[in-house]
Each structure stands twice: as C-alpha cells, then as structure tokens.
Structure 1
Amino acid sequence: MAKTIRLTVAQALVKFLNNQYIEFDGEEQPMFDGIFGIFGHGNVVGLGQALEEDAGHLTVHMGRNEQGMAHAAIGYAKQKRRKQMYACTSSVGPGAANMVTAAATATANCIPVLFLPGDTYADRQPDPVLQQMEQPTSLTVTTNDAFRAVCKYWDRVTRPEILMTACINAMRVLSDPADTGAVCIALPQDVEGEAWDYPEYFFQKRVHHIDRLAPSARAIKEAAALIQRKKKPLMIFGGGVKYSEADETFRKFAEKYHIAFGETQAGKGCITWEHPLNLGGLGETGSLGANLLAAEADLVIGIGTRYTDFTTSSKWICQNPEVEYLNINVSRFHAYKMDGLQVVADAKAALEALDAELSKTGYQTSAAYQAAVADYKERYDAEVDRVFHIEYTGDDFVPEVNDDLDFKKVSKEFIEVTKSSMPQTRVLGVLNETIDKNAVIVGASGSLPGDLQRVWRTKSVGGYHVEYGFSCMGYEVNAALGVKMAEPDREVYALVGDAAYMMLHSELPQSIAEHKKINVILFDNMMNGCINNLEIGHGQGSYGTEFRFRNEKTGQLDGGFVPIDFAMNARSYGCVAYTVHSAEELKEAIEDAKKQTVSTLIDCKVLPKTMVHGYGDWWRVGVAQVSKSQKIHDCYENLMKPHYDAARKY
C-alpha cells in the first residue's frame, strides 16, 4: 500500500509546487521561483497558512494590486523565455476578478502563469459569504468562472483529492510550448484547509521536459522545394524563435542563404539592430525596411509567429500576387494561418532540418535581391537617424503622424502649460543613445509599442520586452519589476504613457520594498495620444481622448489641459524622480538615474501628436459607412474600402 502524508489541500499544493522542475536542452531548473500574493479571507488562512509554515524554496512577494502583481509574473516568465514562472494568489471576489485581465494578457501572449484564486465555500453552508457573486441560475458559478474564457486550463478543487489531477493537468499546460498560457486552479476556502492522506508519490520530484518537436521529412522536403521556387523571400522572426532559443540558428540560416527578415513585437530583440539582414519591425507598426520588402515578397517564411493583424497589416502588407506562406510553428493552430505550407515543429529543429535539405540544392538568393535588401537596410537606418533627431521648430513644424489643423492649437496650449516642446521621437532618440547597451526596455500600450517596433535599436539580446499580444495598459511598470527579478544585473526601463501609468503602476512601491530598482520613463502628452491620432486620422475630431477639465459652459470635457506632477507621485513612494522639458535635461536625468540605488521615474513632458508615422502600412478599423461628416465619408471611400478590397480574406 502506498505511503501517505496527511496534509491540508493548501499544504499539499505548496509541497507539490516545490517539486516541479523544467528541463530544456539538458538544463534543469525549478519550475516555480515563487508566489505573488495578496491575502484576504479566502486564501490567507488556507494557502497563506501553508506558505507561512513551510514555503520551501518558493519566495513569497506581497503584491499591491492583483492585476499588477500578475503582470510582474508575466514579465518574469517572458524574460525567462518561459522556462521559469510564478504563481499568483488572491482572495475570491474583487481580488480574483482583478487578475482576470492579467490572465488574458498571459494567454494572449502565450506566457505561463499559475493563478490560484480563493473561491466560495464548496459546502455552501455560509452562503452568501462576503464577496460572493450569487447567480440565481446556478449556485456553482462564482467570480472565478470568469477565468474560463481567458485561461488555457481551468479547474476547481471541490474535494481534496481533486488537487492531484488539477495539478498534473496544470503542469501539462504550463510546460507546453504549443499551448501554454494562463492556468487557473480555484481553491474553495473551506477545502483549502481540509486534510487528506495524500500518497507520497504525488510529491516526488517531477521533471517536465520541453522536448523539441521534430518536423516531418515530408514537410521539410515541401518547404525546401517552395523556397527554391521563389525569388524574393522574407523571413519573420516571431516569439516562437525566442522561446525555442533558436536565435543563433535563425541568424545562421538567414546569413547562409542571404534571406532578409522582419521582426514581430514578440521576436524583436534577439538579433540586434545592426545585423545587415535585419530590416526591423513588420506590418502596421513596421519599419521602412521590412515593409518595403514585404510589399514585393513572393514568399513569407513565418517562424514562430501568430500572424496578428499588426504583423500582416490586416492581411494587406504583402502585395505581390504570387506571394505564398511557409509557416514553421510548434502550434498546429498557428501553422495553419494564412493558408500557408505547414511545418509543425520546434523552430530550431525545423530550421536545422530545412538547412540540411536546402544545402543539397545549392540555393542562394540572387545578387539583385541582396542588393535590394542592402538598399532597404541603408534607407531604414537613415530614416531612424532622421526620426531620432527631429526637433520642434515652432509654427513651421509639421507633425510626423498627421498635419491636422488642431495640432497648432493643441501644441501651443501644451507648451504654455508644460514649458516643454520635446517631440516623442526625440525622447526615444535620446533614450536609445543614452541608456546602457545591456539595458532592457519594457512597453505594452499606446503609441509607444508602434514607435519602438519601427525605430528602436536593440543593442543586446533580451533588451527588448514589449507585450503587444493584448496591449494591456498598466503592464509596463509592473512587468518591469518581473523583468528585474528575472535579470537583476541589468538596468530595466519601463516606457509608459501617462494614461497607462495612471491606470496601473501598483508594483512601483513593491520595487522599493523588494530592493529591485526599475526606471520609469513616463511620456506625458496629456492625452491618450495613440487613439487621439487614430480618430483624427479617420475623419473624427479629438473626442474623449484628451485629458481636459470639464467646461462649465459647454458641459463637455473641452476645458484646459489637466496638469499632473508625476514626479511628485513617484517621490511619495520613495523613488528618485525628475521632470524634464528638453533633450539636454533628459540626458542629465538618465545619467543621474544610473547612479541611484532605488527606483526612478523621469517625467517627460512630450509634445502631443509627435509619434512616428507609418511606413506603407494599413490597419483595418471599423470606419462608419454613414456619417454626417464629409471627412468621415471621404475617409471610408478613399482609404478603407480600396485597402480592404485588396486585403487577403483567408
């Protein structure tokens, strides 16, 4: 008869997590580094008691906001290339509901995070307990059912023995490179404390092997034959290359066959900017170089990409009528996209097999193709240099994004209020030139991810960390803490807009408490600048996107700008903070921030509507087909319909 250990559900869960390991390419490490937690009545005397009594090697971090701490967990796992992760626990009710957004962020980006929310009583005797969501149609429904839609695996432990199958299935998903994401195990608060005789083998050391899925010989032969037929190929460096740790394999393949590549947000940063075949970001937020090649490419080799609408410019960016797609992806689901030839395999294994097959043919891209790539690279680099050094010149200044008549009025008012006229592009240029080569930048929302993908020059591997699968406002500051925890020896910079900072920056004070210095570069343009530009660019006015006082005369939010001292806010947490109004002040602040031992915030007053413009891109948005505005009508007829008709429908 198997030996047993009598433990509570919570104690058994903690003991189990301590004995999970991940092995990849012969390197073995603990699967979980720790747990982020905010304790309430639904988890403190259950999971909290178990952790207090014996946390094992797990480090427990006290979060300030449930969504914020989960974003930190995502940042950690992403920076660790999904080989280590965190669990997150909260009480049932608002605490659990706060984590739903973060769970969606994890799943959209294919990042493993284990969510352990408390739940209502399984025996229902105290119902309705404090913070319980009652549904008259079914008493089995709780707040935690909201996780079902945004998790890759969901379970509820209503009896102690259920924990075993719940945990095994959770590890299955968390260690699956093709189908990982958020996992939720809901823990009813009475069951957390219930004891059961668990078999000892449940707590044995388990090593979860991330094996490299090999491609089929048939798929490789077909892929090699397809490449040989094409004259103008373009490779896409997706997140799957990063998580497969196939950076070098990808680079050598591209160099051997002289095939240029563009980057997705998830893939950017594993091959540094100066590589002659690296043409930068691709698609709606793409760069000049990659988009020039994409427009004429007759073959797109997508490696580890989900083909989001930003990568494909709503399936429009590739204009060559002869274009075909070769999709290498560990996920069969993603490999089938764009109706391409599917190679379902690990990125590194597939590239190695494809190289072996292609080597037999003597394949090389033509001299004309290579010359065109060199030209695109030169033009791309020159354009980045130009953008980084744009200065405000007064009344004759024309913004990069649009030349709407509103700009002069808004910019004049902004300068009067802030005494600053720094263009956003100039701030990015100063940052790129001034921060250390080994630093990591973190971004997620607003106009910054687009600007960064278009022009940011990543100078070290792993130095670019942008969440753009969910584009979750508030990810930036909190994930920066997770990145710092993952790589404590690197300086970490969160690049965040004023709106996203105000939405969520809860773990900034936690960075102080944990002695994990992060640097926040805050772009204050007194508006939701990205969406403001989107609406103006599609025929509308500035509606509901500028941060203004309500006008008592009109009853609308069309009064003056609302000034905010973000530096003062950061100082209240214990940060060293700066407010800058010029490129010179910004350089000085960055250099001084490098000397600090606590987290810093640099409040940059950035001229509105001065982000980077697009490069031959298009993004489908739902422009009104009927409107009282002639501008909107013209926008639909002249911009939307022709582009949409040209876009591929599959």
Structure 2
Amino acid sequence: MNGARWLAQALVAEGVDTLFGYPGGTIMPFYDALHGTPALKHVLVRHEQGAAFAANGYARASGRVGVCVATSGPGASNLVTGIADAMLDSVPMVVLTGQVPTTLMGTDAFQELDVFAMTLPMVKHSFIARRVDDLPMMVAEAFRLARSGRPGPVLIDLPKDVQMADASHLPAHAPLPVDAVETPKDASLHEALALISQAQRPVVYGGGGIALGDALQDFRTFVDATQIPTVLTLRGLGALPTKHPLNLGMLGMHGSRAANLAVQEADLLIVVGARFDDRATGKLAEFAPHARVVHMDLDAAEIGKLRAADAGVRGDLRITLAKLTLPCAAHLHGRNGAARKAWRAQCQQRAQQHAARYDAPGHTVYAPALLKRLSELAPEAIVACDVGQHQMWVAQHWRMDHPRKHLTSGALGAMGFGIPAAMGAQMQNPSGQVICVSGDGSILMNIQELATLRRYDLPVKIVLLDNQALGMVRQWQELFFDKRYSEIDLSDNPDFVALAQAFGIEALHVERAGDVDAALQALLEATGPALLHVAIDTAANVWPLVPPNRSNSEMMDDIEASPAVAIPSPPTQAPSPQEA
C-alpha cells in the first residue's frame, strides 16, 4: 500500500467513479494504482485540456465533483484553461497533477513546473503533498472545498516520491461533510419582502446560482406564485422552461428584446443567483436605471459587488425562496395588483411581438431554425456548446427545461470546450442523449477528442455549423471595425465529413434547408458517435446585439444593423391594461 494506491482507494470512498486524464512520468505511480482499482473508470483523452473540459462537463451535468489527472510540466499546464473555466463558472472539480520528487523540486528538473503557484488565481485552494501522511487531510479537504458553498476547482500536486512512499499505516479514507449553508437572516427577508410588496414593475433576474444551489423547484414555485415576469442569464437558462408564459428569455448582449426592455423599465429587480455580469448588463451605469435591487445569493462577495443592493439576502436560495413565496404572492396580488397585472401583460405582449421568426427565405440552412428543430426532436438531450455565434444561437433558440442540460463556457468563453464537455456529460449518463453544437473554428481546438469518442463508443451527436470563418469576430469586425476583416477567414477548412470518418465516426453533410429534417433524424438515429456537417452563410449574424458600452435598450437588429431608438423613461404610473 503506497501513497498512490491509498489515493485511488480514497477517490472511491469519495464517490468518484470516473476520471479523465493522460499519463506521464511523475504521475505513473498513480496510474499503476489505477490498474488495481476496478471501481475507478479512467477515460484516456488525447490532450490534457480535453481531460479538464471533460471533468468539467461531467460535473456540470451531474452536480458531482469532476476529477482530472495529468503529469507534471506540460501535462499540468495543459489543464489550466479547463481549471480556469471551472473557477469562473463555479464548477466542482478536483485536479490531480504529478510533480517531480520532493528532492528535485526547485532544481529545474525535467518536466518540473510550479503548478501550485501557476494556478493560485484560478482555484479555490491548492495543495502540495510533501509527505505521504499529508494525503488524508488533503484529499478530504479538497473534496469538501470543491463541493462546499460556491463550488469550484481544487488542485492537489503529487510529488512522485510521495506517491511511492509506504502508506500502510494510513487509515482508510473518511470523507468530510460539506459545509452547512447559511440560513438567510429574517431581517434581510423582511427588507426584501417590503421592496417586493411595493413594486409595480418587478422583474425576476435568475442566474446560474439557481442550479448550483439546487433551488430549481423553489425558484419555479416562486415565479408561479408571484406571477412576476422573469429574465435569465446564459448560465440560468432552463431555470424556467423556454415555453413558460413568464419567461421573457435571456437578457444582455444577445438577449431577447422583451427581456432587455423589461429590465430597463423595471422598478425592482429580484436577482436570484446572478452576478451582474458585463455581458448581461451592458453599460452598467445605465442598466435597469429605475430599479431598486433585491439580491439573493449564497456568496456574500457577489452582493453589492457591481450593483448596490437595496436588500441583500445572503444564504441558501432554497430557504430564501421558500420563505418569500407565500408572503410575496399575497402582497403582489393585493395592493398595486392592477398595476402589476398590466405590467405582466405588457411584458408578455412584447415577448410575443418580438418572438424569433424561423421562416428565413432562400434555400440555405438557417442555423436558428435548425437548432430549434433539433431541440424539439431531442427534448431530453443535454446540449454542450463551444464558443462563438453558435453558442449564442443555442442560448436563444434551444428549447431548454433544465440548467444542467445546457453546458456552456460562460465567464471564460473557452473555444474547444464542446466535444470534451459533451464527452464528460455522456460518461455521467451513458444512456442519455448528449449533443455537441460546435463551429468550424472551435471544433479544431480539440478535434483530437473524436478519437476518445470512438474508443469508448460514446454516442455523442455533433452538429458542426460551418460558416468558413471565425463568425463572432467577423461579425464584430463588420459592425464595429468598418468591415476591416482581419484573420477570420477559414475557407481552407478540411473536409470535416472525411475527417470524422477518418476517426471512425459516422458523418453526414447538409447545405439545403429542405434537407435539414431528414439530416437531423439520421443524426439522432445513428447508434454511436456521429457528426452532422452543416454549411451556413458566412455573412449570418447573431441578433439582437447590444453594442459595446451601450445600454441594453439600444439593441441592434437584423434589418438596419444600427442601434434601435432608446426607449423613454417609464411613466410614473403603471400603464392601464388597455394601454398594455
């Protein structure tokens, strides 16, 4: 029983069943231990970044801790982007890296890299095991920290001699309980209730913290009981089903017109597990200018960080929402009830008026229509996105019913995320439907993971939207850089169908709108991993779009590609039902 074998057994005790990694010199004792630990399924990726993103996707889809492993030096440094993504999107991960023996640390030994220092800004905590006796505390603390409070990644750096040291004297691993979540204070709940009861134009603003706090059902109950129009962030999508009558859609840079206008006219924002991200707020100084703010969050650091909260409620979102639902509903349906009813009708009328259209003219494939149709054909699917225009089209047009079914690199915006994240999601639910939506720029960043899909026969279905350009960069150069297109041309892309087939993956191609339904059906009916290559117009843009440093009321549209007229300040009195 050496340190590596003790560690492998400790992972099993922590409930780990799958880990993603790539072996090398300094982590080899751990891989030797895996050989005798059948309870741990190791997925051999083809690049360490793929391991970090796969563990990330596993954790996002399941809510459990994802685990990835790499050797020292370049192995560890290749994990960094995936670790940063987990930190910024609050994803629970434990990262295991090999390190040169303790006697060689600090000597510039072969493949020595100070991964502890390198990752300090992007982890909840880092450990270096100096002795085998350090392992019980470090492993227990790593998993406790990854799971507790606002989740995130924790790194354990493992010198080779510590892995090989005698561990026969160590006790069997005992996991530590997750930290208790703080209960919201009654005073803060009373302050929130007072503001909500006075509001005439309230809007609920839901974010990724709803899923992280396991507060999905409480959130839906609150919205249904209060009948308050609701907007969602990119990470909050699915907290209300897309078709819910109070769901105005995503807010922000590529948010819906109904969502952005509602927020800009609101007199109260009820913020639930969101952090006023710049992509959601646009020009912060002009965001929701007439609204007071009730901010509910587990993380005290978020309350008042970017927008002062008139009532800050820190603590368990489940308890917060449960305690506010009935009193808020009673107040909202009483005093000012007519004004709020008119406001709700106005918001819903706008949502209908500005609903997306899918009847694009011509014979070419219209990406939003394809994605909407795919989500209807696979309503239970988990969708993992890469980053770019296709990511925003998924956010706008996919019919979502649960946040954990939408895996997207939100705060970091990491290209290459899609295939590995889908791989991780498939591993946590082998019989589930997992779809990856990628672009021709993003997919080549981790294309090697097609080999991993084939090796483990993971039935991930990939939709590759190919516009032969770095689409989002091209769109910004068109709109904000006087069409000075610089380094966005991908017209020399490989034959993606042939490339997928070279990996042993079934592949199809579609370029006409009339063929989309049949192509999607064939993709979904494929028994193993499959790729659908979709040719789309290079000039296609994502609409609406809030220009940089502009208010969310100044959305650019697809007709004039110029800022729409800013809405006037809302009236001092709520509109009548007839006006609404």
So what's the TM-score if we normalise by structure 1?
A: 0.80
Aligned to 2:91: 111
Residue of 55, 60, 67 corresponding to 2:49: 67
C-alpha offsets along residues 236-285 of structure 1, whole Å, 9 cap, x if unaligned? 12111112222221122112121111111111113211111111101112
Does 2:193 match 1:224?
yes
For 1:256, give the aligned amino acid.
A
CA distance in 2: counterparts of 1:361 and 1:86, whole angstroms = 43
With over 3 angstroms needed to count, the CA separation of the structure-2 counterparts of 1:311 and 1:513, relative to structure 1, is same
Distance in 2, Cα, partners of 1:168 & 1:52: 23
Q: CA deviation at 1:54?
A: 2.8
CA distance in 2, matches of 1:102, 1:461: 20
Moved more, 526-535 or 216-225: 526-535
Q: Given the alignment of the two structures, is residue 38 of structure 1 paired with residue 4 of structure 2, yes or no?
A: no
* Alignment match of 1:158 (pick from 130, 133, 137): 130
Instruction: Write out per-residue CA displacement over residues 581-637 of structure 1, whole angstroms, 9 at most, x where no aligned residue.
Output: 11222221111122211111111111023133126x34339xxxxxxxxxxxxxxxx
2:451 aligned partner: 509
Q: CA shift at 1:173, angstroms?
A: 1.1
Report what 1:348 is aligned to: 318
List gaps (5 residues or longer) in structure 1.
Answer: 1-6, 21-29, 134-141, 393-419, 549-560, 622-637, 644-650
For residues 214 and 512 of structure 2, the distance between their equivalents in structure 1, rounded to whole angstroms, comes to 40
Name the counterpart of 1:600.
530
C-alpha deviation, 1:317, in angstroms: 6.2
Displacement, 1:385? 4.2
How far residue 563 of structure 1 moved from its aligned partner, in angstroms, is 4.2
Change (3 A) 1:426 1:54: closer
Displacement of 1:421 in angstroms is 3.6
Contact 1:212 1:345 in 2 (8 A): yes
The one-letter code matched in structure 2 to 1:620 is N
- The alignment covers a number of residue pairs equal to 551
The one-letter code matched in structure 2 to 1:280 is: G
Matched residue, 1:99:
79
Cα deviations across residues 418-472 of structure 1 (Å, max 9, x unaligned)? xx84343343344344x32212221141112322333332256744332212111
CA drift at 1:505: 3.0
Offset, 1:356? 4.7
In structure 2, the partner of 1:620 is 549
Alignment of 1:419-430 (within 5 A): 421-430=364-373
Q: Secondary structure at the match of 2:284?
A: coil
Does the alignment pair 1:13 with 2:7?
A: yes
- Tell me which residue corresponds to 2:223: 254
Say whether residues 1:323 and 2:317 are aligned partners: no
* Aligned twin of 2:570: none
What are the Cα deviations for residues 64-106 of structure 1, in whole angstroms up to 9, with x where unaligned?
Answer: 11111211111111111x2x22321111111111000100011
Match runs of 1:359-378 below 5 Å: 361=331, 363=333, 366-378=337-349
**CA offsets 1:559-591 (integer angstroms, 9 cap, x no match):** xx3243111111111111011111222221111
Structure 1 position 377, deviation (Å):
3.2
Match of 1:450? Answer: 392
Compared with structure 1, are the counterparts of its residues 443 and 373 closer, same or farther at alpha carbon in structure 2 (3 Å cutoff)? farther
Question: 5+ unaligned residues in a row in structure 2: which ranges?
Answer: 551-561, 568-580
**Equivalent residue number for residue 555 of structure 2:** none
Structure 2 residue 436 is matched with structure 1 residue 494: yes
The 5 Å alignment of 1:165-314 reads 165-178=137-150, 180-200=151-171, 203-204=173-174, 206=175, 208-209=177-178, 211-314=180-283
Secondary structure of 1:254 counterpart: helix
Change (3 A) 1:382 1:296: closer
Partner residue in 2 for 1:556:
none
Partners of 1:235 and 1:252 in 2: how far apart?
Answer: 13
Who is 1:132 aligned against? 112
1:486–1:289 Cα change, 3 Å: farther
- Percent identity of paired positions between Structure 1 and Structure 2: 24
CA distance change for structure 1 residues 144 and 15 in 2, over 3 Å: closer, same or farther? same
1:469 aligned counterpart, secondary structure: coil
In structure 1, C-alpha distance between the alignment counterparts of 2:508 and 2:118, rounded to whole Å: 40
